[in-house]
Amino acid sequence: MSAQSSSHCRSCESTNQNMFNGEIAIHFPGLEGLDKPIVWVFPKLLVCLNCGFTEFAIPETELRQLAESDRAAA
């Protein structure tokens, strides 16, 4: 893993943070979400090692998949 981040946690202000690789399966809500495919993302996670607050960004390709599936439901 990389060295500690020099930024402050947005929740507790700690500098005790580290970057990790993530694997996240995003499911759509409700019963109608059962008919939609899971969107997998593999972001970098910035985790506060004091309070557990975690930040990540969804890559553009997967973000587009989420937006398109959401529009199709409307």
Mean predicted confidence (pLDDT) in 7-36: 94
Residue 3 has pLDDT above 60, yes or no: no
**Residue 6, pLDDT score:** 64
Query: In whole numbers, what is the pLDDT of the chain averaged over residues?
Result: 89
**CA 54/CA 19 separation, integer angstroms:** 10
Res. 33 pLDDT band, cuts 50 70 90: confident
State pLDDT tens for residues 37-58.
Answer: 999 999 999 999 999 999 999 9
Widest Cα–Cα separation across the chain: 44
